[in-house]
């Protein structure tokens, strides 16, 4: 074993760690030295979603000690940033195994450092945490969750005073403070219990009122209150708020998928508790078919991602991808605000660089600014902060099933998304239309955009090296053509340079540095490569587009675009 790794292992075996942790390490030493090395070869770092990893003993694992040390570092940074005055933080957690324990440890460490803590009485969706930071005037916040990851994972999302996740320089500075801790003996574990206030219903009511204020056509809901809605929280925290929000919106015919209604960190009915996965939505689809529903919705364990199912043009149930959902939601907010006379000249919308460019086209043709930011809602929150004095934020989103409507919170919010998507379905039904028909109308008007995603997993130390080598190879030897179409541009967000291969020109990318590459092809296709910030994988995003002259041509054009994406994947020799 590498000497540095062995040194970390020894420090845990000889340190002030509990006996069960030491026993777990000794068992790994005897039975699985490779897993032991993976558990200690590095310290967990904040990525696009904060601190996230497999639960277990080790510096590269989520456990009470890595949670405690991260919290001590975060507390030190808060005290350094806000000297003298009262510091407040809000803490929440989802349904995952150990999430309540980790939230209580986080609260105890913060409180022991003299920080005023607002701890939710029980699990709550992540967006309510973001909202509550702003509502309570907090300087920071934490939610213990691993979002949509498998049951073995947990995590720690850290937030700043605007309700958004940490961005530079704060994220890097917190890591520096964590690194300074060096030992669990430097963590203040207890002693500030009086600084902890338990919160719950009062914040729920304020949050629900905020979501209700986002409604554009409440009178349509009153006419379509019997819209047949099926909802599944996939064993997560969405059950705490989504049914009540739908009730407050005026919907009276909501059916819950009972097999997935109970919060359970073992996620017994699914492999991945992720509404992006058709398997996770299968029970919902079954119920939707059985009751002839109008719309199906599912949220992930911490209630920030939403998946929807609707009937397609063949009257068959289909799950929308994140780009399609975003197109429908962005267009609804833009069109609806114009129709109701509440649109403002300085309205803006925000998306990420790997989200469909169809949204850019919709915004442009409606005279609204559309900004593109790096992947992760923390960058959308950061842009709102930068622009809020001069521009009015309406909606933001990304392809990974995330939407954020309105600026009263600063993270993706599946709870409000569910409500607005149901309102959209009611609006279309009131016109004798469906959401899929609306999508086809938008394709005819703005062009048909088709996106796809491949995630290639490479676990452990070797996996990280393979992913790094893959990215370096693309940078050093960019392809000249892909799928018989010339590569005309390469955007390297790490070097912050764009290159035009036709005329040799270069330009500076005005976004923070990020390990992302994009290739733009002559036929309008776009390929993006991005190593995940929270998981051992590299993601490839594919976007193609073409004209759709009328709805009847949809299947034909879809087939052409599917073939184009298939050709790109085969030419790039990408395998999962």
- Architecture of the domain made up of 224-446: 3-Layer(aba) Sandwich (3.40)
Whole-number pLDDT of residue 462: 80
Q: What is the pTM of this model?
A: 0.94
Which residue blocks in 113-194 are alpha helix, DSSP H?
126-135, 170-181
* Contact of 151 with 265, CB cutoff 8 Å: yes
Query: What local confidence, expressed as pLDDT, does residue 175 receive?
Result: 82
Residues 6+ apart with CB under 8 A from 519: 478, 479, 482, 487, 489, 490, 526, 527, 528
Residues 6+ apart with CB under 8 A from 108: 189, 190, 192, 193, 196
- The Cα–Cα gap between 232 and 284 comes to 6
Q: What is the C-alpha separation between 9 and 24, in angstroms, rounded?
A: 11
Cα–Cα distance for residue pair 314/73, rounded to 1 Å: 55
pLDDT for the residue numbered 174: 87
Q: Which ranges constitute the DSSP H helices of 213-253?
A: 218-223, 242-249
The pLDDT score that the predictor gives to residue 315 is 93
Angle at 499 between CA 496 and CA 500, to 5 degrees: 155
| Length of the chain measured in residues | 576
Digit-coded pLDDT (tens) for 219-264: 999 999 999 999 999 999 999 999 999 999 999 999 999 999 999 9
pLDDT score of 48 more than 60: no
Is residue 481 a contact partner of residue 493, using CB atoms and an 8 Å limit?
no
Contact 269, 301 (CB under 8 A): no
pLDDT in tens, 344-400: 999 999 999 999 999 999 999 999 999 999 998 999 999 999 999 999 999 999 999
Q: Rounded mean pLDDT of 339-343?
A: 96
Q: Which residues touch 330 (CB under 8 Å, ≥6 apart)?
A: 349, 351, 359, 362, 363, 395, 397
Closest listed residue to residue 561, CA positions, set 548, 545, 549? 545
Query: Which residues make Cβ contacts (< 8 Å) with residue 320, sequence separation at least 6?
Result: 307, 308, 309, 310, 328
Residue 41 φ/ψ, nearest 5 degrees: -75, -15
Backbone angles phi, psi at 93, to 5 degrees: -155, 165
Predicted confidence (pLDDT) per residue in 434-458, tens digit? 999 999 999 999 999 999 999 998 8
Q: What is the CA radius of gyration of the chain?
A: 24
Residue 47: what pLDDT?
59
Closest C-alpha to 288, from 317, 324, 321, 251: 317
Q: In Å, what is the CA distance from 504 to each residue of 501, 526, 528?
A: 5, 19, 21
Boundaries of CATH 3.30.310 in the chain?
Answer: 450-571
pLDDT per position as a tens digit, 63-104: 999 999 999 999 999 999 999 899 999 999 999 999 999 999
Contacts of 554 (CB under 8 A, 6+ apart): 313, 440, 443, 448, 548
What is Dmax (Cα atoms) for the chain? Answer: 71
pLDDT value of position 43: 83
Q: Determine the pLDDT at residue 430.
A: 98
Cα distances (Å, whole numbers) of residue 66 to 8, 23, 175, 304? 13, 17, 12, 24
Q: Which residues, at least 6 apart from 27, have a Cβ–Cβ distance to it below 8 Å? A: none
What gap in Å lies between CA 60 and CA 69, rounded to an integer?
13
305-335, pLDDT tens digit by residue?
999 999 999 999 999 999 999 999 999 999 9
Chain-wide mean pLDDT for the chain?
95
Q: Looking at 109-123, 261-275, 511-525, 562-576, which range is the least confident one?
A: 562-576
**% of residues, the chain, pLDDT over 70:** 98
Position of tokens 């009131």?
430
CA gap 4, 332 in Å, rounded: 55
8-state DSSP, 195? G
- Decide if 22 contacts 54 (C-beta within 8 A): no
CATH-assigned architecture of domain 450-571: 2-Layer Sandwich (3.30)
pLDDT 10s digits, 165-191: 999 889 888 888 988 988 899 999 999
Q: What is the pLDDT of residue 510?
A: 96
Please say if the pLDDT value at position 45 is more than 90: no
DSSP 313-342: TTS-EEEPPHHHHHHHHHHHHHHHHHHTT-
- Examine the residue annotation and report whether 505 is marked as an active-site residue of this protein: no
List every span in the chain annotated with CATH 3.40.120.10.
42-206, 224-446
For residue 238, the 8-state DSSP code is G
- Please tell me which residue in 99, 147, 215, 528 is annotated as part of the active site: 147
Which of 114-129 are b and which e, b meaning 16 or more Cβ less than 10 Å from the residue's Cβ? ebbbbbbeebbbbbbb
Which residues neighbour 316 within 8 Å (Cβ) at sequence distance 6 or greater? Answer: none
CATH number 2.40.110.10 given to 42-206:
no
């Amino acid at each position: 074993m590498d000497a540095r790794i062995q040194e970390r292992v020894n420090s845990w075996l000889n340190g002030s760690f509990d006996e069960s942790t030491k026993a777990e390490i000794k068992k790994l030493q005897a039975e699985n030295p490779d897993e032991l090395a993976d558990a200690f070869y590095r310290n967990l770092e904040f990525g696009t979603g904060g601190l996230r990893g497999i639960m277990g003993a080790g510096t590269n694992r989520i456990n009470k000690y890595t949670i405690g040390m991260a919290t001590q570092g975060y507390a030190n940074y808060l005290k350094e940033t806000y000297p003298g005055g009262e510091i407040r933080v809000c803490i929440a957690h989802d349904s995952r195994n150990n999430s309540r324990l980790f939230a209580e440890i986080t609260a105890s460490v913060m409180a022991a450092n003299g920080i005023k803590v607002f701890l939710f009485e029980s699990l709550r969706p992540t967006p309510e945490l973001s909202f509550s930071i702003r509502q309570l005037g907090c300087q920071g916040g934490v939610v213990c969750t691993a979002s949509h990851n498998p049951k073995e994972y947990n995590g720690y999302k850290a937030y700043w005073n605007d309700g958004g996740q940490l961005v530079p320089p704060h994220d890097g500075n917190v890591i520096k403070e964590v690194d300074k801790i060096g030992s669990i003996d430097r963590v203040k574990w207890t002693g500030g219990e009086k600084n902890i206030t338990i919160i719950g219903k009062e914040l729920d009511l304020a949050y629900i009122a905020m979501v209700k204020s986002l409604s554009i056509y409440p009178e349509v809901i009153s006419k379509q209150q019997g819209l047949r809605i099926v909802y599944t929280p996939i064993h997560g925290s969405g059950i705490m708020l989504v049914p009540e929000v739908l009730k407050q919106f005026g919907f009276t015919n909501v059916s819950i998928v009972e097999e997935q209604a109970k919060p359970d960190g073992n996620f017994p009915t699914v492999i991945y508790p992720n509404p992006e996965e058709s398997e996770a939505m299968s029970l919902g689809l079954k119920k939707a078919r059985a009751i002839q529903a109008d719309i199906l919705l599912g949220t992930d364990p911490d209630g920030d991602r939403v998946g929807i199912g609707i009937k397609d043009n063949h009257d068959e149930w289909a799950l929308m991808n994140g780009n399609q959902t975003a197109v429908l939601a962005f267009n609804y907010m833009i069109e609806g605000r114009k129709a109701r006379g509440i649109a403002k000249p300085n309205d803006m919308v925000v998306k990420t660089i790997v989200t469909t460019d169809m949204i850019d086209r919709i915004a442009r043709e409606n005279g609204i600014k559309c900004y593109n930011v790096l992947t992760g809602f923390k960058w959308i929150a950061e842009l709102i902060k930068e622009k809020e004095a001069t521009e009015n934020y309406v909606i933001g989103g990304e392809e990974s099933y995330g939407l954020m409507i309105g600026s009263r919170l600063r993270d993706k919010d599946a709870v409000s998304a569910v409500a607005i998507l149901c309102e959209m379905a009611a609006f279309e039904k009131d016109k004798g239309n469906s959401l899929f028909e609306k999508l086809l109308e938008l394709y005819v008007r703005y062009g048909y955009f088709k996106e796809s995603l491949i995630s290639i997993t490479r676990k452990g130390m070797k996996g990280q090296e393979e992913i790094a080598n893959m990215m370096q190879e693309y940078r050093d030897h960019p392809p000249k053509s892909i799928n018989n179409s010339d590569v005309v541009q390469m955007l390297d967000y790490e070097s912050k340079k764009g290159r035009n291969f036709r005329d040799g020109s270069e330009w500076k990318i005005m976004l923070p540095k990020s390990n992302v590459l994009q290739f733009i092809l002559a036929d309008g296709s776009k390929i993006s490569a991005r190593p995940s910030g929270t998981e051992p994988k590299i993601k490839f995003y594919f976007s193609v587009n073409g004209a759709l002259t009328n709805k009847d041509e949809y299947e034909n054009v879809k087939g052409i675009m599917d073939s184009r994406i298939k050709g790109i994947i085969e030419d790039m020799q990408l395998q999962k």
